[in-house]
């Protein structure tokens, strides 16, 4: 399970100890990722870990509500994904993108700095005002 805590400089840190190894992601006060660390439990677990770390960072952002896109951007992205042949539905809900392998596409859609792997929608900077 990912654990979150604030840092002294106004940022946040997320840490997890899993069967794949230990992860640590640090954001600064402006929500920029300043460090992503993965220590695999076994050497063969290092391949493909950057993909997992990226996914974990995106999930953490969605969970914490940081780097959140505006409602309009989320709706626009959702409509594109819903009509995309790479999207996978479960129980009539958009669940997965087979292009990037993201199994939590609904979380990816809300993160402003995320982008579609096929270029159908981009990262944005028009985040909602606080």
Contact between 118 and ligand SF4 by CB under 6 A: the answer reads yes
Contact between 87 and ligand SF4 by CB under 6 A: the answer reads yes
Question: Counting runs of H as helices and runs of E as strands, what totals does the chain give?
Answer: 3, 6
Q: Which of residues 34-73 bind ligand SF4 (CB under 6 A)?
A: none
Please, what is the minimum distance in Å from the beta carbon of residue 13 to ligand SF4?
A: 28
Contact between 86 and ligand SF4 by CB under 6 A: the answer reads yes
Phi and psi, residue 108, nearest 5° = -65, -35
Residue from the set 59, 60, 73, 81 that interacts with ligand SF4 by CB under 6 A: 81
Residue from the set 117, 123, 126, 128 that interacts with ligand SF4 by CB under 6 A: 117
Could you tell me which stretch among 35-43, 53-61, 62-70, 84-92 binds ligand SF4 (CB under 6 A)? 84-92
Q: How far apart are CA 130 and CA 125, in angstroms?
A: 14
Contact between 124 and ligand SF4 by CB under 6 A: the answer reads no
Q: How far apart are CA 24 and CA 119, in angstroms?
A: 29
What per-residue string of b and e applies to 68-105 under the rule 16 or more CB within 10 Å gives b? Answer: bbeeebbeebbeebeebeebeeeeeebebbeebebeeb
């Amino acid at each position: 399970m990912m654990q979150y805590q604030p840092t002294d400089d106004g940022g946040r840190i997320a840490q997890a100890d899993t069967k794949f190894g230990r992860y640590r992601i640090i954001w600064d006060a402006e929500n920029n990722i300043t460090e992503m660390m993965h220590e695999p439990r076994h050497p063969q677990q290092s391949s493909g870990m950057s993909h997992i770390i990226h996914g974990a960072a995106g999930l953490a952002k969605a969970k914490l509500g940081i780097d959140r896109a505006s409602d309009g951007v989320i709706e626009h992205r959702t409509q594109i994904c819903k009509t995309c042949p790479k999207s996978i539905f479960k129980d009539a809900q958009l669940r997965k993108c087979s292009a990037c392998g993201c199994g939590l596409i609904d979380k990816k859609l809300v993160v402003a700095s995320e982008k579609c792997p096929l270029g159908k929608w981009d990262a944005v900077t028009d985040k909602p005002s606080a």
